[in-house]
Amino acid sequence: MTSQQLIEKLISDKTLITPRIIKAFKAIDRKDFVLIQDKDRVYEDQPLSIGYGATISQPTTVAIMLEKLQPQPDNRVLEIGTGSGYMTALLAEIAGKRGKVFSIEYIPELKGLAEFNLRRYNFRNVGLFVGDGKAGLKEYAPFDRIISSASGDETPKSWKNQLKVGGRIVASVGENLVVLDKTSKKRFKQEEYRGFIFVPLR
């Protein structure tokens, strides 16, 4: 399968719907974010190991999460779990010159891998950090969007506090994908989608 065939499959399945997200999938090649031994499997609709117990998520899962998140071109986005930088690159492509992506990774070696991979795209709207993703990045808050591809037992309070009113969190909790819309300083509207498996949040 080629990159174009994978994208066409995601569109025909109605997994990819939003034009700006489709455009980002076409601009960012997944092959730039997998390990060399997996280059022949890069366009399979499967998660792939990137070392250190982490994975690059299944393309379908990435597409679903971005469609639920609905990032806008001028958004400040916090990503929890940089991994190899694939989701980071997609977010940066969507955010554009007016937006900013802040991505925090627990494992220093993976931050280094993501930095190397992202150099191919020369983004000027990305900041990468090493730290505890559960704490978020208070010094750069508030954020319009927060996304986490690692699964915890709950959505951390720190993320909720660092989200703007009117903002949205898309995160995995257990085997559910949770979408939280912040309707006021203390109130959230929540939706859950079942049947997802993610690496644990560390």
Indicate which CATH number applies to the domain containing 133. Answer: 3.40.50.150
Catalytic (active-site) positions: 57
How many structural domains comprise the chain?
Answer: 1
Rounded CA separation 199/81 (Å)? 10
Lowest mean pLDDT across 24-33, 110-119, 156-165, 193-202 = 193-202
Asked if residue 161 is part of any domain, the answer here is yes
Residue 200 domain flag: no
Q: Determine, yes or no, domain membership for 201.
A: no
Task: Record the pTM.
Answer: 0.94
What pLDDT was estimated at residue 80?
A: 95
Asked whether residue 126 is assigned to any structural domain, the reply reads: yes
What gap in Å lies between CA 142 and CA 66, rounded to an integer? Answer: 20
Q: What is the pLDDT of residues 32-58, one digit of tens each?
A: 999 999 999 999 999 999 999 899 999
Q: Is residue 202 part of a domain?
A: no
Confirm whether 199 is domain-assigned. Answer: no
Contact between 105 and 129 (Cβ < 8 Å):
yes
Q: Residue 16 sits in which domain range?
A: 3-194
Could you give the C-alpha distances from 63 to 13, 59, 195, in angstroms and in order? 11, 6, 15
Domain membership of residue 125 (yes or no) is yes
Indicate whether 157 belongs to any domain.
Answer: yes
